[in-house]
Homo-oligomer: A and B are copies of this chain.
Amino acid sequence: MEFANVRWLSDLVMDDPTFFHQCEMSTLDQLTSEHIAVALAGNDFQASFSSESYTSYPDFAPAAAAGNTFSCSSMEASQTGGGVDRPAKLPKTSSWSSCNAEQASAVVADASSPNILSFGRQNGAAGNPRSGYHQLGGFVGAPVKPKEEVSFSLSHGTKRSCVSMAAEVGGRRANTGSTRPPSHSQDHIIAERKRREKLSQRFIALSAIVPGLKKMDKASVLGDAIKYVKQLQERVKAMEDETAKRTVESVVLVKRSHVQVDDDTSSCDENFDVGPDGRPAGGGETFPEIEAKLSDRSVLVRVHCEKRKGVLVKVLAEVEKLHLTVVSTSVMPFAGSALDVTMDEEFSMTVKDLVRQLNSAFRRFMEILAQVLYADLPFLKSFKGSKREDLFGSTASQAHSRRKEGQFSHLHQKEKERGNTRSSETDLGVFRVKVSRKPREALGDLRAGLHLRLGGSPQRDAEEEERGSRRREEECSVSGADGQGGLGENKRRRYAASGGGGRGRRVT
């Protein structure tokens, strides 16, 4: 950073000695937020840093600046007599910090009251080059010329331009033969100062948050800011792509039978019910916890459930019915059950489409799993070679009736009696499944089979009430897609949304 090249900066932030240090911070730092907050305090800067420094302007100009480095003290005296005008240009050595609200507040009143200052030529004399009609045409006042001559000759050789001060200090409305009313010019000047200051403030703020600035001039700050924004955007885009890719490849996340109905591919941890300690509330109340995950062309599904005899066989049979090939399975004594469906065929569909297809399909599959595990649905009786007791160790109706008072307590009791499991033990089942058909067809069958099976479930849990409408839409849309019509209120999912804690942490 070149301090020597920051006049517009030094003019405005000298009262903040930490600013330059902040500039050196490479990346975003909350320390800079003050500056930014100040700069962004609003479009009007009266109530912010700008107003402070700005309102101090009229006073500051003759006082601080002249007191520091101005060489034309005599001029200055006359100017200060004029009252409100500031020097033509802030010298780089002038310190804004010395001019604060104390002086400013007092003088500002004068500055804001143009009538005090309205004397002699001031407005017209300050005309810009094009406003020559002010200088020559508009105003014909004689005093303008000598006074400015004086100021010019006085400050000509000096470093500081008291010249301009003289010009400004000169009469205010003397020759405003132009379009502007007498007092408006001064207001205009002040407003323009304010605008400039606001812009400078924002330049400062911008330069504070853009790292690696070598040059501090406005053009460079803008240019570097542009580059930096582009760079940040690209970075964010890359990261979002990465995240999206990862998200797309790990799409469906269903736990505790709360089938997610979000239509995009984002994961949805927010629906997890977590106990006070962030872990599952304990016992069977949190199960089943079902997660489906798509990676590359494989789909991994984990089912975290109570250790139960026959569950693995039933789930695998269900998978096979869906024209998926079980490649491998694994069951571990851990708080989860994973089912990995690997599809080795080459698809012509994009990964995103595949994900969408599988997303929708496996959401249905999750429902099936949930119902297989807990629901008292008629179609469960159709499981070949299985009775409800094989699945749960008790009848489904019993399980359903006791769900609210501890979903699996009776099951645990039964299991314990058989010595199959401890109350805190769970199954971790890992199934590797391979589809033998194209996924679109397989998913079609999946949907058809799901609707067929779902058609026989007449009941629903009271806990599902609040999510009913959303799921109803989802259900209807899907069922309409395969021509089976809506499932209706009485056909909605019946898996138990067992209250209590679920695990929010995702197993990646």
Contacts and interface: CB of A to CB of B under 8 A. Distances in A.
A402 interface: no
Contacts of A28: 230, 233-234, 237
A219 B236 contact: no
Interface in A223-248: 223, 225-230, 232-237, 239-240, 242-243, 246
B166 A148 contact: no
Given A226-B206, A332-B328, A132 B156 contact: no
A229 B218 CA distance: 17
Oligomer: number of copies: 2
A222 B236 contact: no
Contact of A153 (B133, B152, B155, B219): B133
Contacts of A148: 132-133, 135-137
Given A199-B219, A234-B28, A130 B40 contact: no
Contacts of A153: 133, 137
Interface stretch (A120-128, A284-292, A364-372): A120-128
A222 B145 CA distance: 40
B152 A138 contact: yes
A58 interface: no
Interface in A13-56: 27-28, 33, 36, 39-40, 43
Given A179-B156, A226-B36, A128 B130 contact: no
B132 A152 contact: yes
A167 interface: yes
A165 interface: yes
A365 B444 CA distance: 47
Interface string A299-341: 0000000000000000000000000000111111110000000
Interface in A182-233: 195, 198-199, 202-203, 205-206, 209-210, 218-220, 222-223, 225-230, 232-233
Contacts of A33: 230
Contacts of A432: 332, 334
A134 B135 CA distance: 10
Contacts of A240: 239
A178 B17 CA distance: 37
Given A125-B136, A130-B168, A332-B432, 8 more contacts: A43-B219, A128-B167, A137-B145, A137-B152, A156-B179, A229-B232, A239-B243, A430-B430
15 contacts: A28-B234, A39-B223, A87-B130, A125-B129, A128-B129, A130-B163, A131-B152, A133-B148, A136-B152, A137-B150, A206-B225, A206-B226, A209-B233, A295-B508, A329-B332
Interface of A: 27-28, 33, 36, 39-40, 43, 87-89, 125-138, 144-153, 155-156, 161, 163-168, 170, 178-179, 195, 198-199, 202-203, 205-206, 209-210, 218-220, 222-223, 225-230, 232-237, 239-240, 242-243, 246, 249-250, 295-296, 327-334, 342, 428, 430, 432, 505, 507-508
